[in-house]
Amino acid sequence: MASLAQALGSTIGRKYVMAITGLIWAGFLVSHLTANLLLLASDDGAAFNTYAYSLMSLGPLLWVAEGFLAATFLIHVYNAVKITMEKRAARTSRYQVTANAGGPSRKTIASMSMIYTGGLLFVFMILHLKGFKFGTEYTTTVDGTEMRDLYRLVVETYQDPIKVGVYLVMMVVLGLHLRHAVWSAFQSLGVSNQKYLALAEKGGYAFALLVALGFFLIPLAIFLGVGQ
Amino acid sequence: MSSINVKLRVWRQAGPDVAGKLVDYALTTDSHASFLEMLDQLNRELVNKGEDAIEFDSDCREGICGMCGLVINGVAHGPSDTTTCQLHMRSYKEGDTIAIEPWQATAFPVIKDLVVDRSSFDRIQAAGGYVSVGTGSAPDANAIPIGKAVANEAMDYAQCIGCGACVAACPNASASLFVGAKISQLALMPQGQVERKERALGMVEQMDKEGFGPCSNHGECEAVCPKSIPIKVIANMKREWLKASLT
């Protein structure tokens, strides 16, 4: 039996880590998107702010959750960089002519650009946290409870066409990343049952489309004043 | 018999440690010629002119030995359903340009021109791709009970001829399809159970040591594999490796 460090540092171990941390983040995206749908509730943000308030009221539990997400994110990024370095070292002399073999190949723009879409998402995450989590602290009162008015911050942010534009482009990037990521994670985890893998493949594409589209439509709706 | 004019762009590299480049040749050949016969013909012309022949690998020329292998217009084994030797010039049109390159991977260093050193595959095989139980003389057909479906699946994986097209086609130069095929095949058979864990760990460790890249699930390997080995074997390899690592 190899040591844990050796196992996690092998090419297969790295992919297990990528798959698990990636799927954790895919799960987070679902909860994030679900919560964001509250932005469209036409209640001046009462539901959205109340939900955010309930999360913030968790105190230490929230820090644990945030720490867990941050750790899995950074582990994902670290392994992505290592994998990219390993694959570049594995072929130093490049082909003069390249083509896709077609047929059963899953090679796409999405699969070939994971490190770039991932890098863009990393930068976006920092800006996203800076703009919202660490953004302007407005306050509001819902049912007699004073709480942070995140809704106002979101609505104000998405009046700026440049910010909306950047956000929309980034959601296409997210969709591309997820298109290869989700089914690929199941393959990396060793799902060899062909029925389940086919399901993971179709499900993964649908997941990528739905999540990216959901995140895409919300700021667009706010910008266009739909559901306000 | 019908002749065809093609423009060839062939990778010429004098040795392992020198830079290579594509060199252009014009050739009139026969549309019934196999791809390798076409290269034989070009070599004859080159030798007659006093030039160095283009080095390329081939052996059985019937698609079963795994010796030949060229990246043709960016695709390993080109448009052939199987190996390069089974490709014929009738697959090309008059005036086509055909770029011919060797497998490119750090673990497959070019020896000369289109010939690469694939001994890294042998070392992976030696790291666990065998059974060391005494098999004696051929047993009776029904002495080892193996279901038909399992036998078929093991045979599908056993078809791997170790040509290396999977590595050549992989954007990461990963050997996962090759190693996955070997591990999957033996994991299905009773004879393979004794060394099952050591095999998975040993072959994966050697694969990494040889400098093959990680698998990113692009699936190009499955598309070029002359024996149509599916990437399912890669998922199998991962399970086998995980089970062996955890116990």
CATH topology of domain B3-111: Ubiquitin-like (UB roll) (3.10.20)
Q: Does B232 touch chain A (CB under 8 A)?
A: yes
The 10 Å Cβ neighbour count of residue A52 is 20
Nearest Cα to A155, choosing from A70, A44, A78, A58? A44
For A141, list phi and psi in degrees, rounded to 5.
-120, 125
Q: What is the CATH number of domain A4-89+107-224?
A: 1.20.1300.10
In chain A, pLDDT over 90 holds for what percent of residues? 90
CA-CA distance, B100 to B25, in Å (whole number)?
Answer: 11
Query: A42: left (phi > 0), else alpha (psi -120 to 50), else beta?
Result: left
Give yes or no for a contact between B128 and B202, defined as CB atoms under 8 angstroms apart: yes
For the residues A36-58, what does the mean pLDDT come to? 93
pLDDT value at residue A193:
87
**Residues 6 or more apart from B42 whose CB is under 8 A from it?**
B8, B10, B25, B27, B29, B54
pLDDT, tens digit, 9 for 90 and up, residues A95-130:
999 999 999 999 999 999 999 999 999 999 999 999
pLDDT value at residue B1:
63
Strand, helix or coil at B97? strand
CA-CA distance, B247 to B235, in Å (whole number)?
Answer: 19
Same fold flag, B3-111 and B119-246: no
The 10 Å Cβ neighbour count of residue B78 is 23
CA-CA distance, B158 to B229, in Å (whole number)?
Answer: 9
Domain spans in chain B, listed from the N-terminal domain onward: 3-111, 119-246
What one-character DSSP code corresponds to residue A3? -
Determine, for residues B235 and A187 on separate chains, whether the beta-carbon distance falls below 8 Å.
yes
Kindly report each contact of residues A158-167 with a partner whose C-beta sits within 8 Å and lies 24 or more positions away, as own/partner. A158/A219, A158/A222, A158/A223, A159/A222, A159/A223, A161/A223, A164/A219, A164/A220, A164/A223, A167/A219
What one-character DSSP code corresponds to residue A38? G
Q: Mean of the per-residue pLDDT values for chain A? A: 94
Mutate which of A17, A20, A93, A109 to test chain B, going by most B C-beta atoms within 10 A? A93
Q: Does A3 touch chain B (CB under 8 A)?
A: no
Per CB-CB distance under 8 Å, the chain A contacts of B16 are none
Three-class DSSP labels, B184-223: HHHHHCHHHCCCHHHHHHHHHHHHHHCCCCCCCCCCHHHH
State the nearest Cα–Cα gap between A6 and chain B, in angstroms.
Answer: 10
State the nearest Cα–Cα gap between B26 and chain A, in angstroms.
Answer: 18
pLDDT of A179 > 60? The answer is yes
Q: Does A172 touch chain B (CB under 8 A)?
A: no
Task: Give the up-direction half-sphere exposure of residue B158: CA atoms within 13 A in the CB hemisphere.
Answer: 13
pLDDT value at residue B134:
72
**Residues 6 or more apart from A27 whose CB is under 8 A from it?**
none
Residues of chain B with pLDDT under 50: none
pLDDT value at residue B11:
98
Restricting to B residues 81-140, those with a Cβ less than 8 Å away from any Cβ of A are 99, 101, 104-107, 110
For the residues A68-79, what does the mean pLDDT come to? 97
State the nearest Cα–Cα gap between B239 and chain A, in angstroms.
Answer: 5
pLDDT value at residue B102:
98
CA-CA distance, B200 to A228, in Å (whole number)?
Answer: 58
Nearest Cα to B171, choosing from A115, A87, A80? A87
Superfamily of segment(s) B119-246: Alpha-helical ferredoxin (1.10.1060.10)
Determine, for residues B73 and A1 on separate chains, whether the beta-carbon distance falls below 8 Å.
no
Restricting to B residues 189-228, those with a Cβ less than 8 Å away from any Cβ of A are 201, 204-205, 207-208, 211-220, 222-224
State the nearest Cα–Cα gap between A1 and chain B, in angstroms.
Answer: 6
pLDDT value at residue A227:
60
Determine, for residues B172 and A90 on separate chains, whether the beta-carbon distance falls below 8 Å.
yes
CA-CA distance, A72 to A22, in Å (whole number)?
Answer: 8
Determine, for residues B245 and A1 on separate chains, whether the beta-carbon distance falls below 8 Å.
yes
Restricting to A residues 7-26, those with a Cβ less than 8 Å away from any Cβ of B are 7, 10-16
Determine, for residues A190 and B235 on separate chains, whether the beta-carbon distance falls below 8 Å.
yes
pLDDT value at residue A62:
95
CA-CA distance, B89 to B225, in Å (whole number)?
Answer: 20
State the nearest Cα–Cα gap between B240 and chain A, in angstroms.
Answer: 9
pLDDT of A212 > 60? The answer is yes
For the residues A36-55, what does the mean pLDDT come to? 93
Determine, for residues A16 and B242 on separate chains, whether the beta-carbon distance falls below 8 Å.
yes
**Residues 6 or more apart from A2 whose CB is under 8 A from it?**
A10, B201, B205, B245
Q: Which residues does residue A52 pair with via DSSP β-bridges, in sequence order? A: none
Nearest Cα to A205, choosing from A189, A183, A186? A183
In this complex, the residue of A86, A93, A190 whose CB is nearest that of residue B242 is A190
The ipTM value here is: 0.92
For the residues A20-35, what does the mean pLDDT come to? 97
State the nearest Cα–Cα gap between B218 and chain A, in angstroms.
Answer: 4
